Amino acid sequence: MPNVRLALAQTNPIVGDIKGNMAGILAVVELAAKREADIVVFGEMSATGYPIEDLATRESFILDAELAVRNLASELKSKNLGHIAVVLGHPSMASAQDQTGWAIAHNTASVLLAGEVVGRYAKHHLPNYSVFDEYRTFVSGNDLLTFEHKGLKFSIVICEDIWQAGGPVSELGKANTDVALILNGSPFEIDKDDTRLKLVSELAKKHSCAAAYVNLVGGQDDLVFDGDSIMVDSRARMVARLKQFKTDLVCIDIESKDDLKVVDEHHLTKPNDNWQTWNALVLGLRDYVQKNGFKSVVLGLSGGIDSAICATIASDAIGPENVYGVSMPSIYSSEHSKDDALDLANRRGMNYQVQAIADLVTPFENQLALEGLSVENLQARVRGVILMALSNKDGHLTLTTGNKTELAVGYSTIYGDTVGGYNPLKDVEKTLVWELARWRNEYAKGRGEIEPIPQNSIDKAPSAELRPNQVDQDSLPPYDVLDAILDAYVNRRRSSAEIVGYGFDEAMVNKVLTLVDRSEWKRRQSAIGPKITGMAFGRDRRLPITNKYKG
Amino acid sequence: MPNVRLALAQTNPIVGDIKGNMAGILAVVELAAKREADIVVFGEMSATGYPIEDLATRESFILDAELAVRNLASELKSKNLGHIAVVLGHPSMASAQDQTGWAIAHNTASVLLAGEVVGRYAKHHLPNYSVFDEYRTFVSGNDLLTFEHKGLKFSIVICEDIWQAGGPVSELGKANTDVALILNGSPFEIDKDDTRLKLVSELAKKHSCAAAYVNLVGGQDDLVFDGDSIMVDSRARMVARLKQFKTDLVCIDIESKDDLKVVDEHHLTKPNDNWQTWNALVLGLRDYVQKNGFKSVVLGLSGGIDSAICATIASDAIGPENVYGVSMPSIYSSEHSKDDALDLANRRGMNYQVQAIADLVTPFENQLALEGLSVENLQARVRGVILMALSNKDGHLTLTTGNKTELAVGYSTIYGDTVGGYNPLKDVEKTLVWELARWRNEYAKGRGEIEPIPQNSIDKAPSAELRPNQVDQDSLPPYDVLDAILDAYVNRRRSSAEIVGYGFDEAMVNKVLTLVDRSEWKRRQSAIGPKITGMAFGRDRRLPITNKYKG
């Protein structure tokens, strides 16, 4: 009987940092060698990071990636690691381009052994929906790759190949596959974990093979790869589950396709949804900050829930000592807005300063003779100028804190509260903001820590405080109703007639839908932020600005 | 012998305005009927506007479009126009969705006759490169549609179908096609006109059929459809060419596939490239303004060439009486910057005001203790606040005026000079800005008009004037060198090594490429503007923000 030790390697590559990623891969193989692994499998595009977008259309990038893979094979051999089969993902030049000349590369997995690239698989199903544009950037492959190592037959497929019917994956059984190696770059979405497990289990049963599902981990712009790699045997029993939101390496001994034993410490259960969502937001922010060379963030603290939760996410991500909160009260700001902002900063020990805006706003009002909405927007924009000045001065990344609901209906001042390079709440609707705030406080309490978010920020009626006694519900429906309408319109693409049919007031539905459509130009200029749902604003939802459709 | 009068109808639909577009189509058919046309052909997606992006994934949108097409057929009959065959473009529900459930519709052309939809063609080749995402939004069709009308055989294909090999277009000859009807939504690019004519001519020769190439006209967000529809006979002789940048209707009498005669006034030659580019910029701006319900624009006038040319484009597009120029001098502004701005406004009679920024800037400087780059950016941001306040106050669309070269290297202050909903120069590199300015003045001279752009704005060394005696070339290479490097890197996707190989200084190349890469986050938040080249910033070039690749 064979006994093959398979290592699942969940790494956090940086897009474009081929040298750094390859050094990381080498270090992981060395670690796996110490644990006596016979084969190590990495995630999709682990050599280059993922998604590489139009970098895939640059010849130099593809050639650099290919060279790095060949060099790794040599280096492994020279370090006496040539006996370990290493499976990793990278782009490679396709033998034929698509007709337009844009797609020149395959999305590839290579098998390295004995100093050589001994096998290659090119992804067949190219996702071209949601945030993915792979039909734009890659040429499709057609053939399953099966190779034997230490008496077991391994076959390779990549990510989308198991989400669609047909293609190489249907050959797994015919190829007498013992273990399917599935390389993935699968971003976090609430509830997606269960879908992945189901897919992998069905694949194992259907083709009677064990299956190793290896995902990437880490934030890349608006995506958060959550890891959570899994191994199932040919009877679809889960054998191992890797950490979520962390790099990880787990070895599994394979006697046969239905006799697997995990070597390393591991877990088979997962924390609850709010824990997962919170950690996705934290990892997304941390990696954006670190991978782009920032050390600190600056954001406005209004005393409201959005800025409070953003500051807490940032504190969890990079430490409160690297978070710079700025209270920017106006003549309309309530006392509690200042008190709550200070309370928030003190709870975790963030940096805090007050910059009153009255003396900055008045000269504009006078010189330009402004009144009404222009003055409301002016206040927000003066705050934006302050935050960007502090960012320029001290090198902070500016965070903008508008939640998904605000972004949907355009309840924000462009170039005002929208300024910033990253928005932690971009895909978090208002009702979920409150839920996460309550959860985070409970979580702290359960660990004997100070609750990070002032209860008053959770409890009070939301207000932009841009005029006296203003509250959000002066101009918007209650947030639970608003989020339900938005879920139907934005996430589920329902028509106004259908949404009215669900029982919502027709005038309210029409008002909300009009607000959403009219705000498209603002969303186009908005900061990126982590996708956590099946339909995030940004590349996940592409609508014209000039658009008169009502329906 | 048959004698069929074919009308090519070049219309300017608004995306999503199904009702308005259908009313426009009906009016054109009525006009064609007066000219005794037997068949009228419209452009791609003429019923809904184009591109509809993710509207194609909304069931209600597709069903509304289909219903509107059926209603048009009935209405034509009820108006005794049922004898005219009408060919128009619209989305229709596909019988099977793609596996992801995103693409549910075909990109369709329907033939209306005698009150019915008598034939349908679904686009086969779905462009999914450059600005197009049709593999995301549409299900591909496979079968050529050929129908007989008044003794001639007409076959339908759509746009990309003639740009790629294979598919229904290859059946044109076998179907004994007399006239190929090609419905297009083909955006303007400099030099593209010649490519189109060549393609259509080759198609006609290869399949021995006449060919009617009907394009849309009008601006839609970042695209400008230039019309320029063409008719060739089966020997590839051009018979008619419709107007560029204007709606048009031209009738052609067809005796046989090689015996065609144009009925209406028309032309066969085209104006020069600068005229075309200028008119693309004018139409793009005019349609963005009008289709989005604006009446006027506001922009900063610095006395420099970029704002001068933008104001002139705007004056040509919507009239100088609807253009509001604002001079916003700082303590660093030269006298000529103020004089040249005023001179510009006076030449065409634009609205003009001066808003000095010193009294608005100083309070920020003092309160935040700013110096150096922070102060430079502060000045630009104060100007942004002024323009947006005037926009909010008076309902103007704010124009931002950064050219493609600036956008490439990030030579701008985000939330400062970048504020605005539309950027006429987004795809116009600096060297072309100058060329167009000279051309526009010559053009005016040739027509006995006042040259709109002050010569001094063309001649002086470009400067941001954010500190004393600053000129752009303090921090950037000469613009002709810079544009050449950018052309290689951005437009032609060459590597740094290749660009150095062309003879550019290595340190300069590396500096420029680094600037381009580092500015990606700014470009993501930038205003849209009209695409006029093969590689515009925006959806034409999709690169990660987090990206460490150097090569």
* DSSP secondary structure string for all residues of A442-470: HHHHHTTPPPSS-HHHHHSPP---SSTT-
Closest residue in B to A219 (Cα) is: B546
- B260 lies in the same domain as B281: no
The residue from B246, B266, B286 where one domain ends is B266
- A203 lies in the same domain as A314: no
Q: How far is A383 from chain B (nearest CA, A)?
A: 11
Domain membership of residue B543 (yes or no) is no
Q: Is B549 in contact with A16 (Cβ distance < 8 A)? A: yes
Q: From chain B, pick out residues whose CB is under 8 angstroms from the CB of A55.
A: 543-544, 547, 549
Question: Do B137 and A541 touch, CB atoms closer than 8 A?
Answer: no
Q: Is the peptide bond before A51 cis (omega within 30 degrees of 0)?
A: yes
Q: Which of A543, A474, A443, A535 is nearest to A222 (CA)?
A: A535
- Whether A338 sits among the annotated catalytic residues: the reply is no
How far, in Å, CA of A436 to CA of A310, rounded? 11
Question: What are the distances in angstroms from CA B296 to CA A255, B118, B313?
Answer: 75, 45, 13
Predicted pLDDT of residue B334: 87
Q: Is A377 in contact with B355 (Cβ distance < 8 A)? A: no
Domain membership of residue B449 (yes or no) is yes
Closest residue in A to B490 (Cα) is: A58
Question: What are the distances in angstroms from CA B530 to CA A330, A526, B222, B277?
Answer: 39, 20, 4, 10
pLDDT tens-place values along chain A, 551 residues long: 568 999 999 999 999 999 999 999 999 999 999 999 999 999 999 999 999 999 999 999 999 999 999 999 999 999 999 999 999 999 999 998 888 889 999 999 999 999 999 999 999 999 999 999 999 999 999 999 999 999 999 999 999 999 999 999 999 999 999 999 999 999 999 987 789 999 999 999 999 999 999 999 999 999 999 999 999 999 999 999 999 999 999 999 999 999 999 997 767 777 899 999 999 999 999 999 999 999 999 999 999 999 999 999 999 999 999 999 999 999 988 888 889 999 999 999 999 999 999 999 999 999 999 988 899 999 999 999 999 999 999 999 999 999 999 999 999 999 999 999 999 999 999 999 999 999 999 999 999 999 999 999 999 988 888 888 888 888 889 999 999 999 999 999 999 999 999 999 999 999 999 999 999 999 999 999 999 999 999 999 999 999 999 98
Give the residue numbers of B annotated as catalytic, written as ranges.
44, 123, 159
Question: Do B155 and B180 touch, CB atoms closer than 8 A?
Answer: yes
- B180 lies in the same domain as B243: yes
- A41 Cα distance to chain centroid: 22
Q: What backbone torsions phi and psi does residue A161 show, to the nearest 5 degrees?
A: -55, -25
How far, in Å, CA of A319 to CA of B433, rounded? 47
User: Which tokens go with B108?
Assistant: 């369709």
Q: Which of B297, B330, B290, B327 is nearest to B312 (CA)?
A: B297
Q: Which of B274, B155, B290 is nearest to B220 (CA)?
A: B290
Active-site position among A159, A209, A251, A310? A159
Instruction: Count the domains in chain B.
Output: 2
Q: Which of A17, A25, A20 is nearest to A72 (CA)?
A: A25
Q: What backbone torsions phi and psi does residue A419 show, to the nearest 5 degrees?
A: -70, 145
Predicted pLDDT of residue B1: 57
- B204 lies in the same domain as B309: no
- B262 lies in the same domain as B343: no
With b meaning 16 or more CB within 10 Å and e meaning fewer, what string describes A191-215? Answer: ebbeebbeebbebbeebebbbbbbb
How far, in Å, CA of A243 to CA of A266, rounded? 8
Q: How far is A370 from chain B (nearest CA, A)?
A: 7
- Whether A44 sits among the annotated catalytic residues: the reply is yes
Predicted pLDDT of residue B2: 64
Number of Cβ pairs < 8 A linking chain A and chain B: 239
How far, in Å, CA of B302 to CA of B327, rounded? 6
Among partner residues A129, A136, A525, which is closest to B102 by beta-carbon distance? A129
Q: Is A545 in contact with B528 (Cβ distance < 8 A)? A: yes
- B121 lies in the same domain as B229: yes
How far, in Å, CA of A117 to CA of A115, rounded? 7
Q: Is A393 in contact with B374 (Cβ distance < 8 A)? A: yes
- A261 lies in the same domain as A284: no
Report the CATH number at residue B318. Answer: 3.40.50.620
User: Which tokens go with B256?
Assistant: 């046989």
B381: left (phi over 0), alpha (psi -120 to 50) or beta: alpha
Q: Is B60 in contact with A497 (Cβ distance < 8 A)? A: yes
Domain membership of residue B409 (yes or no) is yes
Closest residue in B to A64 (Cα) is: B551
Whole-angstrom distance between the N-terminal and C-terminal Cα of chain A?
64
**B225: three-class secondary structure by DSSP:** strand
- A81 lies in the same domain as A229: yes
Domain membership of residue B444 (yes or no) is yes
Domain membership of residue A529 (yes or no) is no
Among partner residues B51, B385, B493, which is closest to A381 by beta-carbon distance? B385
Q: Is B493 in contact with A59 (Cβ distance < 8 A)? A: yes
How far, in Å, CA of B351 to CA of A310, rounded? 43
- Residues in chain A, total: 551
pLDDT tens for A269-318 read: 778 999 999 999 999 999 999 999 999 999 999 999 999 999 999 999 99
Domain membership of residue A34 (yes or no) is yes
Whole-angstrom distance between the N-terminal and C-terminal Cα of chain B?
64
- A453 lies in the same domain as A313: yes
Question: Do B383 and B416 touch, CB atoms closer than 8 A?
Answer: yes
Q: From chain A, pick out residues whose CB is under 8 angstroms from the CB of B395.
A: none
User: How many CB atoms sit inside 10 A of residue B389's CB?
Assistant: 23
Q: How far is A391 from chain B (nearest CA, A)?
A: 9
- When scoring A138, A359, A547, A550 by the number of chain B Cβ atoms within 10 A, the one with the most, hence best to mutate, is A547
Question: Do B536 and B192 touch, CB atoms closer than 8 A?
Answer: no
The residue from B456, B472, B488 where one domain ends is B472
**Mean model confidence pLDDT for chain A:** 96
**Could you list the residue range(s) of the whole structural domain that residue A127 is in?**
4-266
- B148 lies in the same domain as B217: yes
Q: Is A546 in contact with B421 (Cβ distance < 8 A)? A: no
The residue from B223, B247, B266 where one domain ends is B266
Predicted pLDDT of residue A2: 65
Written as one letter, the residue type at B58 is R
Positions of chain B with pLDDT lower than 50, given as ranges: none
Per 3-state DSSP, what percentage of chain A is helix, strand, and coil (rounded to 5)? 40, 20, 40
DSSP annotation string for B152-184:
EEEEEEEGGGGTSSSSGGGGTTTTT-SEEEEEE
* Cα atoms in the Cβ-side hemisphere of radius 13 Å centred on A180: 35
From the DSSP assignment, how many helices (H) and strands (E) are in chain B? 16, 19
Domain membership of residue B435 (yes or no) is yes
- B259 lies in the same domain as B289: no
Q: Is B546 in contact with A221 (Cβ distance < 8 A)? A: yes
Q: From chain B, pick out residues whose CB is under 8 angstroms from the CB of A98.
A: 129
Question: Do A376 and A466 touch, CB atoms closer than 8 A?
Answer: yes
Q: How far is B52 from chain A (nearest CA, A)?
A: 7
Written as one letter, the residue type at A125 is H
- A357 lies in the same domain as A241: no
Question: Do B218 and B196 touch, CB atoms closer than 8 A?
Answer: no
Q: Which of A106, A113, A108, A122 is nearest to A40 (CA)?
A: A113
Report the CATH number at residue A224. Answer: 3.60.110.10
Q: From chain A, pick out residues whose CB is under 8 angstroms from the CB of B359.
A: 363, 367
Closest residue in A to B540 (Cα) is: A54
Measured over all CA atoms, what is the biggest interatomic distance in chain B, rounded to whole angstroms? Answer: 86
Domain membership of residue A527 (yes or no) is no
